[in-house]
Amino acid sequence: MRFYMKRVIFFTIFILLTLTLTLSHAYATTITVGMEPFGAAFDSHLNEVFVANSGSNAVSVISDATNLVAATITVGSDPSGVAFDSNKDEVFVANSGSNTISVISDATNKVTTTITGFSEPFAVAFDSHKNEVFVTNLVPNNVLVISDATNKVAATVVVGNDPQGIAFDSKKDEVFVTNSNSNTVSVISDATNKVTATINVGTEPEELAFDSNKNEVFVANESSNTVSVISDATNTVTATITGLNLPRGVAFDSRQNEVFVANNGGSTVSVISDATNAVTATITVGTEPLGVSFDSNLNEVFVANSGSDTVSVISGSVVTATITGLSLPRGVAFDSHLKEVFVANSNSGANTVTVISDATNMVTGVVTVGISPYGVAFDSHKNEVFVANEGSNTVSVISDATNTVVATVGVGSEPTWVAFDSNKNEVFVANFGSGTASVISDATNTVTATITVGSGPYGVAFDPHKNEVFIANGNSSPGSVSVISDSTNAVTATVTVGTEPVGVAFDSLKNEVFVANAGSNTVSVISDATNKVTATVMGLDSPYGVAFDSHLDQLFVANYLSGTVSVIPDSGGSANTVIATVTIGSSSGPWGVAFDSHLNEVYVANYGIGLVVGTTVSVISG
């Protein structure tokens, strides 16, 4: 591992390229369901997603904890629209081929009632104000209103030609209906069950969704490849968004205030910011996507792909900012005192640390340190930043008040990573070249102990639960982690992990330590109670840096070779599995990772790969 990293430096040191990073939601999982999946709805009671399979006359029930099909329910012919009734914990399914509505209990996943009297029912929406279900009837051009108390039709409302999509506006207690052959949207008051407005939109409007943040309705116009934005205050179109490809399904993400639109012609989903009404990302999904549903439990979007008989799951993690002007950035640390991020520029021609404000993501300072700075750690006791200088065998101490070096401490050979021990107010430094760890007192800025560990010590993390320090021994065979008691400065355990362990992070929720194994493409999970590996996470790609997000209780792992960051929850049904992958860039070479507990964001230092010298830091939200 060591010689490989040296070659990277020599190849990249002479060439400087600028990386362009793509803002990207993470397309995490593909789930096989029935034939020709169409509509989808999220059940907030059991955190499940119900998908109507129009080709197999069934509904698939997906657990959002496992992304597995938990049940398959036979319904009527050619099911299309689906809606969850939060009053009764029931799911209503429109069976357009058999002219019925199936009512499913989410407690038993059985059809409890079949409602007749429809004529090609298509879309369904639940009105939480009146506890009624609104169903579009294609042939007679009307909407039938069902009371969930009786499961009987309570009213009939005449709308435009070929009513397709339907959505409930919880602010105005109105129902919006797309009329595909009239190129209009009908607005129904649930107080009177009468049409109060008719709005002209694009050609062949299909599905629509209510945005509770802006009190707007987004309408997908299939034939004009646009989305119309309607203000519910004026019932007028306030914006038209272009660049879609046969848009069909629409869903609103209430966490990110974004709208997800399925492009049936392009096998993609467009992500629209409701602040700008602009497409901010395009995500590849399955073939011929139709229905879209937002899961408010895990903040994920489920997309029914009718052409591939699958459901795609899109996570909310996204690159929200890219900071330029760095040079082979490696280590990253968050300063909780001044809400700043310190990044080490390891290029020996730079020998600096860049200071970034998390409020603006702007560079506020550049501090000259030793040769080839590597790891960075923030000392919350002294409000200082400690930087390991690999090329000069020193640690630079920076005051965050002045952004100046206040001390330089000699340590072992080739120091790489550093960690602050908040129990003893000490800093532990992994010396890769000498197989030791140096202990620095922040009171005197002197080395008070030198501890022999394994071969090629690399990543370091402090465990405040046990007051122990975990050091990854990158060149040991097999790969190992040394556990050091900060009371004795002695190694109390050696834990076998994967090959070439690099990054280390402590999980304060589970009192576990996560170790990135670059050689075996895994992450080892160590219990600090037993100092044993309790789980191994697969599916990484040369993982290096690791950071624990204490806001969402998940791990962010930088995959150096693939230019991505993996997201791993530490608990729940998806614990210790990769649930999302955030794309940074194919030549970005993400290395160090740090969690900003102020804004709940993750900062990733992109070192570069091959002939590309990394010059950026990516900021991930969500």
Confidence of residue 349 (pLDDT cuts 50, 70, 90): confident
Mean pLDDT lowest among 2-6, 286-290, 452-456:
2-6
Question: pLDDT per residue over 505-548, tens digit each?
Answer: 999 999 999 999 999 999 999 999 999 999 999 999 999 999 99
Examine residue 54 and state whether it is found in any structural domain, yes or no: yes
Backbone angles phi, psi at 138, to 5 degrees: -65, -50
From 52-61, 116-125, 278-287, the region with the lowest mean pLDDT:
278-287
Q: How many CB atoms sit inside 10 A of residue 447's CB?
A: 17
Radius of gyration of the chain (CA): 28
pLDDT for the residue 622: 64
* Tokens describing residue 463: 């465990």
d(CA 528, CA 464): 10
CATH (domain of 170): 2.130.10.10
Q: Is the pLDDT of residue 391 over 60?
A: yes
Asked if residue 497 lies in contact with residue 479, where contact means CB atoms within 8 angstroms, the answer is yes
Task: Indicate whether 585 pLDDT > 90.
Answer: no
Whether residues 11 and 134 fall in one domain: no
Q: Helices in 308-383 by DSSP H: which ranges? A: none
Whether residue 580 has pLDDT greater than 70: yes
The CA distance from 620 to 320, in Å, is 6
Residue 15 has pLDDT above 90, yes or no: no
Chain centroid to Cα 346, Å, comes to 29
Which two three-digit tokens encode residue 58? 């069934």
The domain boundary, picked from 314, 331, 363, lies at 314
Q: Which residues pair with 126 in a beta bridge?
A: 133
Are residues 86 and 173 part of one domain?
yes
| pLDDT beyond 70 at 430 | yes
**pLDDT over 80 at 457, yes or no:** yes
Q: Above 70 in pLDDT, residue 231?
A: yes
CB contact at 8 A, 260 and 25: no
**309 versus 349: which is more confidently predicted?**
309
Helix (H) or strand (E) holding 284: strand 278-284
pLDDT (average), residues 492-500: 98
Residue 238 CA from chain centroid, whole number: 30
Indicate if the pLDDT at residue 8 is higher than 70: no
Kindly report each contact of residues 174-177 with a partner whose C-beta sits within 8 Å and lies 24 or more positions away, as own/partner: 174/232, 175/125, 175/127, 175/134, 175/143, 176/208, 176/210, 176/217, 176/219, 176/230, 177/134, 177/136, 177/143
pLDDT in tens, 357-387: 999 999 999 999 999 999 999 999 999 999 9
Q: Please say if the pLDDT value at position 289 is more than 50.
A: yes
Burial 384-411 (b: 16+ CB within 10 A, else e): bbbbbbbbbbbbbbbebeebebebebeb
Range of the domain at 17: 1-26+316-323+555-622
| Shared-domain flag, residues 228 and 277 | yes
Distances (CA, A) of 575 to 28, 534, 578, 579: 14, 12, 8, 9
- On whether residue 202 sits in a domain, the answer given is yes
Q: Is the dihedral of CA 70, 76, 81, 86 positive or negative?
A: negative
Whether 544 is in a domain gets the answer: no
The structure tokens listed for 304 are 């029914």
Contact 427, 419 (CB under 8 A): yes
180 to 195, 203, 239: CA distances (angstroms): 17, 7, 19
21-35, 262-276, 515-529, 541-555: least confident range:
21-35
Residues, the chain: 622
Q: pLDDT at position 318, please? A: 67
pLDDT at 24: 42
% pLDDT > 90, the chain? 84
Of 522, 433, 432, 418, the C-alpha closest to 469 is 418
- Residue 70 scores a pLDDT above 60: yes
pTM, two decimal places: 0.66
Q: Are residues 74 and 9 in the same domain?
A: no
Q: Across residues 254-283, what is the average pLDDT? A: 89
167 versus 266: the higher-pLDDT residue is 167
In a domain, residue 424? The reply is no
Three-state SS string over 47-100 comes to: CEEEEEECCCCEEEEEECCCCEEEEEEECCCCEEEEEEECCCCEEEEEECCCCE
Same domain, 146 and 93: yes
Which of 281, 314, 347 terminates a domain? The answer is 314
Same-domain status, 6 and 155: no
| pLDDT on residue 21 | 31
Rounded mean pLDDT of 70-86?
Answer: 98
Q: Which residues contact 189 (CB under 8 A, 6 or more apart)?
A: 173, 174, 196
CA–CA distance, 145 with 129 (Å, rounded to integer): 13
14 shares its domain with 133: no
Total domain count for the chain? 2
pLDDT value at residue 574 = 74
Query: Which of these, 377, 315, 297, 260, lies nearest to 620 by C-alpha position?
Result: 315
> How far is 318 from 570, CA to CA, in rounded Å?
20
Which of 263, 297, 314 is the C-terminal boundary of a domain? Answer: 314
Residue 594 scores a pLDDT above 70: yes
> Is residue 244 pLDDT above 70, yes or no?
yes
Judgement on whether residues 39 and 80 belong to the same structural domain of the protein: yes
Q: E strand or H helix at 6, and its extent? A: helix 2-12
Of the listed ranges 23-27, 254-258, 339-343, 602-606, the least confidently predicted one is 23-27
Please indicate, yes or no, if residue 460 is contained in any of the structural domains.
Answer: no
Asked if the structure places residue 434 within a domain, the reply is no
Please compute the mean of the pLDDT values over residues 405-418 and round it to a whole number: 98
And the tokens for 408?
């330089």
Mean pLDDT computed over 553-569: 93
pLDDT at 62 over 70: yes
Same domain, 191 and 212: yes
The verdict on residue 7 lying in a domain is yes
Band of pLDDT at residue 14, cut at 50, 70 and 90: very low
Mean pLDDT of the 550-566 span: 93
Asked whether residue 12 carries a pLDDT value surpassing 90, the answer given is no
Phi/psi of residue 6, each to 5°?
-65, -40
Q: Could you give phi then psi for residue 429, rounded to 5 degrees?
A: -120, 125
Mean pLDDT of 328-355: 96
Q: pLDDT averaged over the chain?
A: 92
Model pLDDT, residue 179 = 98
Residues 207 and 272 in one domain: yes
181-195, 509-523, 599-613, range with the lowest pLDDT: 599-613
Same domain, 66 and 17: no
Residues 79 and 209 reside in one and the same domain: yes
pLDDT at 581: 78
Residue 438 maps to a domain: no
Measured at the CA of 241, the angle between CA 584 and CA 28, to 5 degrees, comes to 30
Taking the alpha carbons at both ends of the chain, their separation in whole angstroms is 32
Does 3 have pLDDT greater than 80? no
